[in-house]
Structure 1
Amino acid sequence: MHSSLIFTALVGILARIVSADENGDALKPTPTATISNGTIIGTTTSIPGPTSAIPVNKFLGIPYAAKAVRFSPPQPHAAWTTALNTQKYGNACMQAFPPVALRPFTESVFSDDPKPNEDEDCLFINVYAPKKQWDPNNPFPVMYWIYGGAWKFGDTSQRWYDGSHFAALEDVVVVSVNYRTNAFGFPISPSVPLNQRNLGMLDQRFGLQWVQDNIRHFGGDPDKVTVFGESAGGFATDALVTSNAPNFHAAIMESGVYAYLLAGPCDNNNFNAWNALVQALNCSSGDQTAQFNCVKNDRTQQQIKDAQEAGNGITFGFACDEVTLVSNPRTRLENGQTKNIPVILGSNTADGSLYSWTTFANNNTTAYVNARLSGNRTIQAGIERVYPIPQPGGPDNATILGSVDTDWFFHCPGYWYGLTSTKSKPTWRYIFNAEFKNTRARVPSGWTWPEQYQRAWHSSEIPIVFTSYDAPTAESTQNTLSNTMRHAWGYFARNHAPPSELNWPQVGKGSGGKDVIEFGTDKKAGVSIVEDVDHCDFWESMGFKNFHA
């Protein structure tokens, strides 16, 4: 008994010594950390605080896996013996911006300038950590960011994804992970085993394991990890929830879920995209194996990128491997068979404005639904009735058509998800309705997307959540709303519930059962609890709620 107590005391002393050493490394002017692979050298930035600047440690471009092998799952990185400089972002994964007619617009809106270097060697992770003494018995919560990009593009170096304000002002450690997209990340080929087709999702999980193995060296708590993402990143977050993935403990989904995505179930035998890629790369000679080897071994990364971006583009989907992506997410959610963790989810009031403007700005509702739902006259007539346009033609139609896309693809899936999720796990929903000039989309020369039609557009909440907008041009109301939302997200990561001062009701618990919080009630800093009035009953009556099993 006595020797046991001595051993316990020694372990505690040893832990404090190790922690003190790591604190010392983190507090150096040029911070270092020793992770499982070796020592890394970071950099320090500072964020304006209430009274003085607050320092933050940044470790950028840390390899969390070995150099990616084309069409193969991530593998562990070998150890290094010399300290590795991690003071700038690593390569972005290979991007694809189809169709070619919209590429200048899409690249301008969703990429920074200058654009990052693209390479298949892209499995890098970034850590933003408070530069302060930490208590090993009370480490910082961790927030793990998954970017969006329609599963075709995206990377962690975008300025909107900088986690410095979270680290400085909320005392959380933010981690952002690069993952493969398009054909490089989802090679849906008959020659690829089913359990290796969702490489991008395997990358995300590999990054989560890296967090478990290493985040304590930055002051983070591996037992308090919140995954959050937007659009495809929200989908990916839900894929982790509905598949009961390990290594995280709470989730935030911004403008994207999987369980009620209105795209129908997986088809693991649909190889149309792969066949189109094979044809475009002149790899169609020989049998299936020869074709696969041609794409894998005989074509450059640039050739594969170009083939996907040409013409109307080649779009790769997903595989329901029942590990990274289950085939019955709705049923699992309704039966309480998903990961039992607290969830925040929501959408923007004009999530669909980007898509309606770029494609249908001058068309009427009939032209729109013919393009979206060719041949289904019942649904077409219903949309024309619920979303009427008095005067066919003209750019003002974009506002109404944007509402169709918003409800169809973003708002209603989130609405249904919340009502189901709250039956088995604490769930909160939000609506984002704020508009600020310095978060308008960057529209390239020669293109138009008038500000009055952008509104609270898809992804415009991200710089408010991260406080990563251009500070010198910020409005005071913008700073106020950003402080509110960033704190709500950070508080949730620490306490698995929103801060009490928001009076944010759980889904189904407020008056009428439809109460949600609205950020930007007055399109600025207003925050209020509102009843979610929508057209989701219409979409449910058309059968869209039950697309997934």
Structure 2
Amino acid sequence: MSAKFLFLLGTILALVHSSSSHHAAPLPSATLEAGVIVGTTSTALGSTVTVNQFLGVPFATKPMGKTIENDQTSSLLPSTILSTYTPPPAGESEDCLYLDVYFPATATKNKPVIFFFYGGSYIYGTNSVPRYDGTNFAANQDIIIVAPNYRLNVFGFSNSPQIPLDQRNVGFYDQRLSRQWVERSIHAFGGDPRAITIWGQAAGASSVDNFITTMPINPPFRAAILHSGQAGISNKVTNGTVAWDALAQQLNCSTQPDVLNCVRAANASTIISILENSVLFFNPAKDNVTDLQDPEIARKLGNVARVSVLVGTIAQDGSVYDEKQPLILKYGQDNTTAWLRSAVGDHPMLIGLVEEEYSINSTANGWPITNVYEQISAIYTDAVYQCPMSIMANDSLNAGISTWRFMYNVTFPDLQPIRG
């Protein structure tokens, strides 16, 4: 299907949509390198501000059939037609390199830009989750929001020994491609490419920290927000090629002369099924290009992007993950000692001190600990989030970087609690 036909089809669809009501406002449009795209409008709950939405805008070529391989030369697709929904719908797909753009319909030129990365431990996540809808934020903050997708798990971080180390983190290269798209194209939506703030949550925040620590000279952003994640101090298991070898074996590829091509030829749905059933997790490789071997040292030495940073956590950060952790699922929610032993080894004195500090009927971060689930959640929150984020903030401040720190600890008496 030619780019010309797609462009004409998009124009026809836009005309049909706009002519359905004589009183309907014209749909928003933007002119990019690849052609004209047409968006839609919405309003946030309790707001009268109209927000323009451009959903499912492609920023790179489709990675279909190239899921275990980096493509740094990916270019924009031909003319996008009606960008009024986020493809693909809820679910999983190799075809995921799209981004969403939100901004007030009354936006003038040179608006500041928020560039947001979602979290999910580099295992799962998507910008189409309702909580990442930028309509409300754009309406209330008079700002432009851009939220890209990026490849995850084995599709983004395969760690195949046949791939050069500096090419294994294709998920991070996806992020860089989307950032380049923003720098090149955001002016078409009224954004200022010189006023980009990168923001991430959990693994997305770790990704933001990778930008900070790998781009010390002329960083392509002016500020950064790290929400419940950083790259300097991590509990991530560096599994090397263990997960890759296990996947190759289950695909009957381990004895093939070219294991990489054998895995690459497998159907994506088959691979996803194996990942889910075998609980295989693929972590980013420390390639010293997209992910430094020791970003904490770089920060202490001041060899990082010298931009203002806002670092934050939530009082119960750990509760959003702990029910999904294999360690807890294995031991249940009734044995904190066993869980700690599996996490830190057989160190009775250390385990005893931790259990005393987080004893039942005490409090942690302002929240009561009334059972084992809450006890493990509190330990996990401090060990994985609160403590590392505080260290990161202090190191940043000591390096002479403008640094702010927050902790969100709010309760709403009329609402049911939401873990995490």
Give the TM-score category using the shorter length. Answer: 0.7 to 0.9
The answer on 1:411 being equivalent to 2:386 is yes
Structure 2 CA distance for partners of 1:86 and 1:332, relative to 1, 3 Å: same
Aligned equivalent of 2:249:
279
Contact 2:236 2:283 in 1 (8 A): no
Flag the 1:293–1:361 CA change in 2: closer, same or farther, 3 A. closer
Are 2:93 and 1:122 aligned? no
Q: State which of 396, 405, 410 in structure 2 corresponds to 1:434.
A: 410
Of residues 70, 76, 90, the one that matches 2:67 is 70
Moved more, 402-411 or 418-427: 418-427
The 1-side partners of 2:76 and 2:356 are apart by 61
Structure 2 partner of 1:205: 176
* Residue identity (%): 33
Aligned partner of 1:19 in structure 2 is: none
| Contact 2:58 2:77 (C-alpha < 8 Å) held by counterparts | no
CA distance in 2, matches of 1:199, 1:369: 34
Identify the residue that residue 43 of structure 2 maps to in structure 1: 46
The 1:406/1:128 distance shift into structure 2, 3 A limit, reads: same
Instruction: State the 4+ residue runs in structure 1 displaced beyond 6 angstroms.
Output: none
Report if the CA contact (8 A) 2:68-2:155 is conserved. yes
Q: Within the alignment, does 1:328 sit opposite 2:291 as a pair?
A: no
Q: 1:315 to 1:385 in 2, by over 3 A?
A: same
Find 1:292's aligned residue among 225, 241, 260: 260
Letter in 1 for 2:262: C
Give 1:357 deviation, angstroms: 5.2
Q: Tell me how far 1:376 sits from its aligned partner.
A: 3.7
Task: Supply the distance in 1 between the matched residues of 2:335 and 2:306 (Cα, whole angstroms).
Answer: 44
- Counterpart selection for 2:78 from 73, 77, 80: 80
RMSD: 2.4
Give the match for residue 302 of structure 1: 269
User: Where does 1:225-304 land on structure 2 (aligned, <5 Å)?
Assistant: 225-244=196-215, 246-263=219-236, 270-287=240-257, 290-297=258-265, 299-304=266-271
Equivalent-residue separation in structure 2 for 1:351 and 1:274 (angstroms)? 30
3-state secondary structure, aligned to 1:85: coil
Q: Is 1:32 aligned with 2:29?
A: yes
> In the TM superposition, what is the alpha-carbon distance from 1:356 to its structure 2 partner?
4.4
Identify if the C-alpha distance between structure 1 residues 378 and 133 changes in structure 2 by more than 3 Å, giving closer, same or farther: closer
| Cα distance change on mapping 1:183 and 1:439 into 2, 3 Å | farther
Give the AA of the match of 1:60. Answer: L
Which TM-score applies when normalising by structure 1? 0.65
Aligned residue number for residue 106 of structure 2: 132
Distance across 1 between alignment mates of 2:313 and 2:196: 22
8 Å contact from structure 1 (residues 262, 413) kept in 2: no
Query: What are the ranges of 5 or more consecutive residues in structure 1 without an aligned counterpart?
Result: 1-26, 92-114, 441-450, 459-549
The match for 1:398 among 370, 373, 379 is 373
| Cα shift at 1:28 | 6.1
Mark the CA change 1:76 to 1:357 in structure 2 (over 3 Å): closer, same or farther. Answer: closer
Q: Equivalent residue of 2:310, what SS? A: strand
Classify 1:80/1:354 alpha carbon distance in 2 versus 1 (closer, same or farther; 3 Å).
closer
Deviation at 1:171, TM superposition (A): 1.3
Shift of the alpha carbon at 1:218? 0.1
Q: Hey, what's the Cα distance between the residues in 2 that align with 1:438 and 1:226? A: 34
Partner residue of 1:387? 358
The alpha carbon displacement at 1:283 in A equals: 1.2
In structure 2, the gaps of 5 or more residues are: 1-23, 363-368
The alignment of Structure 1 onto Structure 2 pairs a total of residues equal to: 380
TM-score under structure 2 normalisation?
0.84
Residues 365, 388 of structure 1: 8 Å contact kept: no
What is the CA–CA distance in structure 2 between the aligned matches of 1:376 and 1:283, rounded to whole Å? 40
| CA pair 301-436 structure 1, distance change in 2 beyond 3 A | farther
Give the structure 2 partner of residue 56 of structure 1.
51
What secondary structure is seen at the aligned counterpart in 2 of 1:84?
coil
Q: Does the CA-based 8 Å contact 2:61-2:77 persist in structure 1?
A: no
Amino acid at match of 1:247: P
Residues 31, 42 of structure 1: 8 Å contact kept: yes
1:38 Cα offset (Å): 1.2
Contact 1:242 1:329 in 2 (8 A): yes
SS at match of 1:283: coil
The 1-side partners of 2:361 and 2:298 are apart by 42
Distance 1:395 1:306, change over 3 A: farther
Separation (CA, whole Å) in 2 of partners of 1:197 and 1:170 = 37
